[in-house]
Amino acid sequence: MDFFQAGDACSEEDLSLQPSNPRFVNAMNGQETFEKICRAMSLPGFYPHAVTRLEKRETHISAVFLTGDWVYKLKKPVNFGFLDFESLEARRTYCHREVLLNQRLTSQVYEGVVEIVQDAGGEIRLGGQGRVLDHVVKMRQLSEESNLEVLLKKGVIQESHMQDLGERLGQFYASSSGGEEISRFGDPHVISMNMEENFDQVHPFVGDLVNDERWQFIREVSRAFFRNHENAFKERVRSGCVVDGHGDLRAEHVYLEDVIQVIDCIEFNDRFRYGDVASDISFLYMDLDRLGHMDLGFVLLKAIVRSSGDHGLYGFIDFYAAYRAVVKLKVACFSFAGSRTDEQRSLQRDAAGHYLQQANTYALGFGRPTLWVFCGLPASGKSTLAEKLSQTLHVPLIQSDRVRKEAAGMSAQDSEVVPFGKGLYRSSFRHRVYGRMLLMAQESLERGRSVILDGTFSHRKWRDDARQLAGDLDTNMIFIECRASVERIRQRLMERETHTGASDARLQHLDALAAEYEPLRDTDAAMLITVSTEKPLDESFLEVVAESHARKCRQISKLPSVSPVS
């Protein structure tokens, strides 16, 4: 768990506890009972079934006993502030909560809650008659050979596995509960307050454990993201994207059996589960990155979005991944401060460096501007996709049709259909329009804002100018070429005769426009997405937004600034 922090378990009240304090006595009795139960559960004869291999594993908050076919999870009588398992009643309650909540993403794994009793002869037993000492969660033991983290390290995970997992998670999020109490955890004020708290808590370690230059960049772009996307955060809430999620969705909690099993959600504190879907997914997204499988992370995101319909997730995944990485960085800093040996300090210093690097990479994902260029013949569907991307990612859109009309003092809906190469479509005016578009794009990029350009960009020179602009301003660059068959384009152009819009391109212009269109053969594949617009709109758009994210991340991964700090 990432929630255990140095100092959390040591409040002012705790420091004042004395043996005469009833709470202190109860805590001591609880710990003594816990240790007695652990000793009993460490014996194979304790269990009323065959035990093939008995193993005990511990975390800060529980002791887990693996027996071969069954697993028993015993909660520790602890109070860390963010969780309180001190009383027997609390542990019973949270055992039942754990079973109930985890049944959402598992099937026939969480068997139920079993009492630990002490019989009349003083023997501690699993179930039956006697004085109840505690409760355990009983689970079917899943094979380590099906664990996602194990399989990732072996290099045997295929894209199909991620597609299946993404579909399962997408369905889960689409059906997860919301409501006013849950929704407030997506409020930008709440998120900003938590973010700033993290910044304040890491600050004492900056300059020694945390590289100052990278830290300043992470802080500034995170704050800028909030300033520029406050309405987008609110839209996530209104759209039902803030849900009761998993809360700790890591690779080690996923098992790829005949039925995908996702275990160990957060049961002890609801607010750790409540949040944006992008925040919940960011745990697993980061894990795939950490384990060297970022491409599988792209497959996972695409499958989740296809299943849930939440295209807007792509606009927030990097922000929340950076946020989570900063939390992990904070915990590593606290652990470093509390380390008692050089070996422990060295391990935590390495961990802090890793999480800082991750946070920096994700911060570049939303902090480094991207220049998108949608190109293709008229009626190829580029404007429809460009507008949808603009609305989904909250990125400004500059369209050649509108710039052209504005330059001529016309409204976007004014129509001027003229022969090819005449009027507003004469060569000199077209060059002027594309020059104006690039100037507008430059102004946006220089302010640190991404921008989308939408036009035919039929001349190689216009595309080269866009690429040069991105290079000069050190931004990401993505070309999206929209294609459709000549028959489909003709059909769409014929429809414009009765349904006019900003574009004045008509069927009579098609042959000339196609003849002058210079193919994108010279465009770097790392910058180019080719999409067919003859598929359903949602399918074409998913291709655009998913591949845009993947290419942006790959471009960022090649930057010198994402390498570890020496």
Going by pLDDT thresholds of 50, 70 and 90, the confidence category of residue 562 is confident
pLDDT in tens, 484-507: 999 999 898 888 777 666 677 777
In whole angstroms, give the CA distance from residue 38 to residue 35. Answer: 5
Q: What is the reported pTM?
A: 0.89
Strands (E), 428-491: 451-454, 476-483
pLDDT at 163 over 90: yes
Query: Poorest-confidence range of 362-366, 407-411, 490-494?
Result: 407-411
pLDDT in tens, 62-81: 999 999 999 999 999 999 98
Confidence of residue 5 (pLDDT cuts 50, 70, 90): very low
User: Above 60 in pLDDT, residue 11?
Assistant: no
pLDDT band for position 298 (cuts 50, 70, 90)? very high
pLDDT of 1 reads 39
- In one letter, which amino acid is 117? V
For 32-63, what is each residue's pLDDT tens digit?
999 999 999 999 999 999 999 999 999 989 99
Can you tell me the distance from the alpha carbon of 533 to that of 536, in angstroms, rounded to the nearest whole number? Answer: 7
Listed in order, strand segments (DSSP E) in 260-328 are 260-262, 274-276
Query: Which pLDDT does position 563 carry in this prediction?
Result: 64
Please state which of the ranges 180-184, 249-253, 306-310, 562-566 shows the lowest mean pLDDT: 562-566
Q: Which residue has the higher pLDDT, 404 or 396?
A: 396
Per-residue pLDDT at 130: 94
Q: Are strands 370-375 and 451-454 parallel, antiparallel or unpaired?
A: parallel
Confidence category of residue 23, pLDDT binned at 50, 70, 90: very low
pLDDT at 566 over 70: no
Is the confidence at residue 19, as pLDDT, over 50? no
Say which residue, 521 or 324, is predicted with more confidence: 324
Q: What is the pLDDT of residue 425?
A: 75
Q: At what angle do helices 294-308 and 277-290 cross, to 10 degrees?
A: 160
Give residue-wise pLDDT tens across range 209-219: 999 999 999 99
* CATH of span 148-366: 3.90.1200.10
Give the CATH fold of the 368-562 domain.
Rossmann fold (3.40.50)
pLDDT average, residue stretch 287-306: 97
pLDDT reported for residue 417? 64
- As a whole number, mean pLDDT of residues 177-184 equals 88
Average pLDDT over residues 291-312: 97
Separation between Cα atoms, residue 373 and residue 445, nearest integer Å = 13
Report CA 28 to chain centroid distance, whole Å.
Answer: 41
Phi, psi of 326 (to 5 degrees): -65, -40
Mean pLDDT rounded to a whole number for the chain: 90
E-strand stretches of 313-396: 370-375
> Would you state the pLDDT for residue 518?
92
Kindly list the domain boundaries of the chain, sorted by start residue: 12-141, 148-366, 368-562
pLDDT given at position 25: 38
- β-pair partners for 139: 71, 110
Query: pLDDT at position 412, please?
Result: 64
Please tell me the predicted confidence (pLDDT) of residue 414: 64
pLDDT at 290: 93
pLDDT band at 509 (very low <50, low <70, confident <90, very high): confident
Arithmetic mean of pLDDT, 316-325: 97
Query: Which of the two residues, 92 and 5, has the higher pLDDT score?
Result: 92
Mean pLDDT of 228-235: 94
Give CA–CA dist 553/546, Å, rounded: 11
Q: pLDDT digit string (tens) for 135-154?
A: 999 999 999 999 999 999 99
Look at residue 525 and tell me whether its pLDDT is greater than 50: yes
Q: What is the pLDDT of residue 7?
A: 30
Radius of gyration of the chain (CA): 29
pLDDT range class, residue 427, cuts 50, 70, 90: confident
Supply the pLDDT for residue 564.
59
Say if residue 109's pLDDT is above 90: yes
Q: Residues 442-491: pLDDT tens digits? A: 999 999 999 999 999 999 999 999 999 999 999 999 999 999 999 999 89
* pLDDT in the model for residue 98: 98
Per-residue model confidence (pLDDT) at position 35: 96
Cβ neighbours for 365, distance < 8 A, ≥ 6 positions apart:
317, 318, 321, 322, 552, 553, 556
pLDDT at 12: 28
Q: Mean pLDDT, to the nearest integer, of 297-311?
A: 97
- List, as one string, the DSSP characters of 43-102: SGGGSSS--S--EEEE-SSEEEEE-SSEEEEEE-S-B-SS-B--SHHHHHHHHHHHHHHH
Contacts of 128 (CB under 8 A, 6+ apart): 117, 119
pLDDT at position 6 over 80: no
What is the maximum alpha-carbon separation in the chain? 102
